[in-house]
Structure 1
């Protein structure tokens, strides 16, 4: 096996500003970057057409490209109808920003896909994702749902009910290992028609956890990335670890991605730890061993 996929890094993992993070991504050997685009300087509302053009030019001057934007709006995903009115519109604007910056992919969490297709919860989430999928498809883009809150089989069952592949998958093997205990290799094969982006991360599951306590659901505490990072750091239910030290079998995982013909980015995400730059450098080196 010899990987040809490009290596990406989530800029925000460095804990620096966007510009410093971009420069650092280049320094550690990344070829592409993923950037959070939901608030602050990367909020679509705060980036004029001229600012978008300048930022894209700066990224290209570093010899980088954007693998994807993160458009995760937190809360209960798309599970609350009243919230979906603004969340859907904001998500569309993040897609517009992504296209202006040279990528067609926005990754997000939608909440936990409901089992009962006749339930109000299913209808609410399905309606929002259908609208987002149709919009993304109309402009040649993708909303990529990050794996983790449910099994690959449950996620595929939900995606199969949508009319377009405008809603696709951002595959994160560590989330599956840590939260649902699902097999990432089997998950790759199940979701092969939907995967447009991946995260490279590793983790260990210490004991069973209700995904609703991690990713939020109606009636549960809303999803919050800082809260998830705290859960990871506490080591109560699961722990994120450096690549190769956890439950993801990367030999089999990378082979599975090759088997399905995935040619997109392998984007490194590091959500915990006091030395993110060191961890990310090691992760880049880890992936390079397969190239």
Structure 2
């Protein structure tokens, strides 16, 4: 398992797009972006050039979509992913554009949050959400790309059920263990018994369970929250996972950089245990 970091695509530092990744001494990243203005052949060509010069491999494109996004339990269900009908059409098209971008830069897959997928499979909207995701997945499949769900707003069994109903061969999971905790959706280690065979990428992030019904739990540095990383890594080994471990720390500034570096050291110890 190779250690890397999630990295934002920006155009404000031409010639040094991947300097932050190299500063951490990583050779791999997930490249994330929410700005569709960056989704051009010109930017893609620059990404290819600079990633090669920096010696950084892009293991996936984290695809953001237009419209509001509220990471909580009150507004999240009506703003996140492909679930809200009001934004669904434009977000399907946005994800297709990011699939084009992933193809242009040679990345193997796109990743996104699909939203609060209904737990009740008899809910009318459930079938509509499945069809919306399928449309994107089929488009990715036509380009020989994977479509990977980031865990978070749905329970493991809902995610498995949804993938089974979509039915394309290119589906996978970007397992963010902290999100299962932050949203109160499940235990990360136990989730591997449900959908372990579909895990294609892993975020290294940590946090605590929610303490009220409106807000997510608190995100913290890996190793300081409820994710049992030594046993989580051991379980990944047990199921044969050999993909990337992508560090994510949802703060900014020097503390973020320090936490990423410390997590990289801790990961080496957990991997060798």
Give the TM-score band, short-chain normalised.
0.7 to 0.9
How many residue pairs get matched? 257
Of 86, 101, 113, 2:117 maps to: 113
Give the conservation status (yes or no) of the 8 Å contact 1:52–1:100.
yes
Of 247, 250, 254, 2:229 maps to: 250
Are 2:154 and 1:150 equivalent residues in the alignment? yes
Note closer, same or farther for the CA distance 1:53–1:117 as it changes in structure 2 (3 Å cut): same
Give the conservation status (yes or no) of the 8 Å contact 1:165–1:194.
no
Deviation of 1:134 (Å) = 1.4
1:1-291 aligned within 5 A: 5-12=1-8, 20=16, 22-39=18-35, 43-44=38-39, 47-48=40-41, 50-73=42-65, 74=69, 75-180=79-184, 182-209=186-213, 238-272=217-251, 274=253, 275-289=255-269, 290-291=271-272
Name the SS for the 2:259 alignment partner.
helix
The one-character-per-residue Cα deviations of 1:124-158 (angstroms, maximum 9, x if unpaired) are 21111111111222222122111121221221122
Output the CA distance in 2 between the equivalents of 1:19 and 1:199: 27
Consecutive unaligned residues in structure 2, runs of 5 or more: 70-78
Give the conservation status (yes or no) of the 8 Å contact 2:16–2:50.
no
Given the two structures, how large is their TM-score scaled by the length of structure 1? 0.80
Note closer, same or farther for the CA distance 1:121–1:17 as it changes in structure 2 (3 Å cut): farther
The one-character-per-residue Cα deviations of 1:7-27 (angstroms, maximum 9, x if unpaired) are 12112399x868656202111
Give the conservation status (yes or no) of the 8 Å contact 2:60–2:109.
yes
Give the conservation status (yes or no) of the 8 Å contact 1:133–1:164.
yes
Give the conservation status (yes or no) of the 8 Å contact 2:184–2:210.
no
Deviation of 1:66 (Å) = 0.6
Give the conservation status (yes or no) of the 8 Å contact 2:33–2:62.
yes
Q: Which residue of 2 aligns with 1:233?
A: none
Stretches of 4+ aligned residues off by more than 6 angstroms: none
Give the conservation status (yes or no) of the 8 Å contact 1:240–1:272.
no
Output the CA distance in 1 between the equivalents of 2:145 and 2:212: 36
The one-character-per-residue Cα deviations of 1:98-136 (angstroms, maximum 9, x if unpaired) are 122121121111111112333221122111111111122
Output the CA distance in 2 between the equivalents of 1:208 and 1:18: 44
Output the CA distance in 2 between the equivalents of 1:196 and 1:60: 23
Output the CA distance in 2 between the equivalents of 1:112 and 1:19: 39
Give the conservation status (yes or no) of the 8 Å contact 2:9–2:33.
no
Output the CA distance in 1 between the equivalents of 2:164 and 2:192: 15
Note closer, same or farther for the CA distance 1:117–1:268 as it changes in structure 2 (3 Å cut): same
Bigger RCO (CA 8 Å, 6+ sep): 1
Note closer, same or farther for the CA distance 1:135–1:40 as it changes in structure 2 (3 Å cut): closer
Note closer, same or farther for the CA distance 1:11–1:76 as it changes in structure 2 (3 Å cut): closer
